Structure 1
């Protein structure tokens, strides 16, 4: 219960059904925000351990929407994105998956999101 309360107070949005998933993905797509999703399960210890780190990322990257999806609660979303192991982290842009990180690897997760953000927002020559 305490973990759920911390999640409510964070910048991570907990998705509990398909409708909020579609709303947040559509909204982020329309506004041009990338989305980082933590596919987790309440019974998976590596997922639980990664919650705090995921919240820290959400506090660092203000122009990214951070979502938490429990694969047991929102099976159709996990199935649609072909989530086969947990934790899995998926980076989406424009409503499409761009990158997937399987496993509890904070360094790799930070590296991938940082590279994506810096590449996406780097100045382009005209």
Structure 2
């Protein structure tokens, strides 16, 4: 157990209220960072299965804000963004949705983040 780095602070922010949502989306917008949001539910096995992958993405992409929203806990946000299934992943920029991925598809999520970052910042390479 000695030397294990398993206790690293998560880079995924758990959203627990509409106010928390607005704060983090505004913060990402002000920094010029896109946000990738995982809309999940504690009872949804595919959502739970995506959590470690979402954490890995958050560690990989430093200039992307990663948020996790439980659709049952923050119904107002999920409803406003028309989330109809879990897991759903929204890629947002400037507070607006630019891409939506429904279902647990790690490859597609990474592909779309790379595409978005390349389109937004052609000079950066990932």
Gaps of 5+ in 1: 1-5
Q: Partners of 1:91 and 1:80 in 2: how far apart?
A: 15
For the pair 1:18 / 2:18, whether they are aligned, the reply is: yes
Q: Partners of 1:106 and 1:27 in 2: how far apart?
A: 26
TM-score calculated relative to the size of structure 2: 0.90
**CA deviation after TM superposition for structure 1 residue 36, in Å:** 0.2
Q: In the alignment, what sits opposite 1:73?
A: 73
Root mean square deviation of aligned Cα: 1.3
Question: What is the DSSP-based 3-state SS (H/G/I as helix, E as strand, rest coil) of the residue aligned with 1:25?
Answer: helix
**CA deviation after TM superposition for structure 1 residue 109, in Å:** 0.5
**CA deviation after TM superposition for structure 1 residue 74, in Å:** 0.2
Q: Partners of 2:84 and 2:94 in 1: how far apart?
A: 23
Decide which structure has greater helix share.
1
TM-score calculated relative to the size of structure 1: 0.90
Q: Which runs of 4+ in 1 moved over 2 A?
A: none
